[in-house]
Amino acid sequence: MFDSGLGGLSVYTTLREALPDADIVYAADTARMPYGDRPLPQVEAFARQMIAMLRRHDPSLLVIACGTSCSAFAASGFQPGLPTLAIVACGVAAAAAATAGGRIGVIATAATIGSGIFERDLLRARPHAVVTSVAAPKLVPLVEAGAWGTQAAASAVEEYCQPLRAASCDAVVLGCTHYPHLRRWFARSLGPEVRLVDPAQACADAAARALAGATPGGGTLTVLVSGDRDVFARRAFELSGVQPNALESADFSREVEEPEHSHR
């Protein structure tokens, strides 16, 4: 699995509950995050480099725990060439099931919102839905800086929730895996009537189905991180209680994706 940074831990912890014996390798590109303000072709290049490194571990399943990378792959038509779960597709399915009145909010990075992937796929699943999309560029840097519990985070979430309240959304997709780490602020801003959709649970359920009958592993976590290992380890523990069995420095920029895994 991979993400630009700490966000994917919201997916990892849910996956771990569903798959306690799985050996998981998590690639985190903290040296080049945030992805949400970058052009999609550049995000695609970065994500493909992480996939190239993850291939060395011979994965049974690839989890794209980065909404912006999902958007980049959808825009270009890139296919990883191995069994894959994409967090955006999981979020779309969960939101389509969660809404009662068909008024769905999506909050995600600027690049993901700009790509239109959530609105397009939600309308395919629920053709009569009304989708309100909000880009939230302040949130990923706040989580990565360790400021998820601060007033600055609460204020930023409140700012981004205003158009979702104005649109009377009854379900809101947390369309970036960093955002569930701010769930309490979203709950406070949107109120109990709005269902918060975290794609991680749908992803974990799908992963459990995909790996049913697989040989159990040792339940280990290996993290490959391109930025400061100590900072990642400290914040991962503070945020999610996660302690990797192995934490390795990785230079994803040196990786070259194999040519046969390319665009359709």
pLDDT in tens, 207-216: 999 999 899 9
Sorting pLDDT into bands at 50, 70 and 90, what band is 255? confident
Give, in order, the Cα–Cα distances in Å from 132 to each of 31, 94, 103, 166: 32, 16, 8, 10
Look up 176 and say whether it is catalytic.
yes
Closest to 164 (Cα-Cα) out of 130, 121, 138: 130
Task: Give the count of beta carbons closer than 10 Å to the beta carbon of residue 33.
Answer: 24
Is it the case that residue 2 has pLDDT exceeding 70? yes
Place of tokens 């009304």: 130
Task: For residue range 190-213, list pLDDT tens digits in order.
Answer: 999 999 999 999 999 999 999 998
Which pLDDT value is given to residue 260?
Answer: 44
Same domain, 92 and 171: yes
The answer to whether 169 is a known catalytic residue is no
Average model confidence (pLDDT) for the chain?
95
Q: Domain check: are 92 and 65 in the same one?
A: no
Is residue 88 within 8 Å of 67, Cβ to Cβ? yes
Over range 54-81, report the average pLDDT.
Answer: 97
Cβ 99 vs Cβ 131: under 8 Å = no
Tokens 């709950």 correspond to what residue? 187
> Which of 177, 34, 37 lies closest to 107 in space, CA to CA?
177
Please indicate, yes or no, whether residues 81 and 101 belong to a single structural domain of this protein. no
Contacts (Cβ under 8 Å, ≥6 apart) of 227: 5, 28, 29, 30, 31, 33
Within this chain, do residues 100 and 225 fall inside the same structural domain, yes or no? Answer: no
Q: Considering the candidates 90, 161, 169, 176, report the single residue annotated as catalytic.
A: 176
Asked whether residue 189 carries a pLDDT value surpassing 80, the answer given is yes
What is the mean predicted confidence (pLDDT) over 63-86?
Answer: 97
pLDDT tens digits, 220-234: 999 999 999 999 999
Mean per-residue pLDDT for 83-95?
Answer: 97
242 has a pLDDT exceeding 60:
yes
Q: Is the pLDDT of residue 257 over 80?
A: no
Element (H or E) spanning 234, and its range?
A: helix 229-240
User: Phi then psi for 31, rounded to 5 degrees?
Assistant: -70, -25
Query: Residue 222: which CATH number?
Result: 3.40.50.1860
Beta carbons of 16 and 42 less than 8 angstroms apart = no
Residue 255 — φ and ψ, nearest 5°? -85, 145
Q: Residue 174: give the domain boundaries.
A: 88-198
Q: Does 258 score more than 70 pLDDT?
A: no
189 φ/ψ angles, rounded to the nearest 5 degrees: -75, -35
Q: Which tokens belong to 218?
A: 């040792």
Do 60 and 151 belong together in one domain? no
Set 66, 70, 90, 161: catalytic member = 66
59: left (phi over 0), alpha (psi -120 to 50) or beta: beta
**Cis-peptide, bond into residue 34, ω within 30° of zero:** yes
Residues 95 and 127 in one domain: yes
Domain count, the chain: 2
Is residue 167 domain-shared with residue 108, that is, in the same domain?
A: yes
259 lies in some domain: no
Say if residue 207 is in the same domain as residue 187.
Answer: no
Predicted TM-score of the model (pTM): 0.93
pLDDT-based confidence at residue 31 (cuts at 50, 70, 90): very high
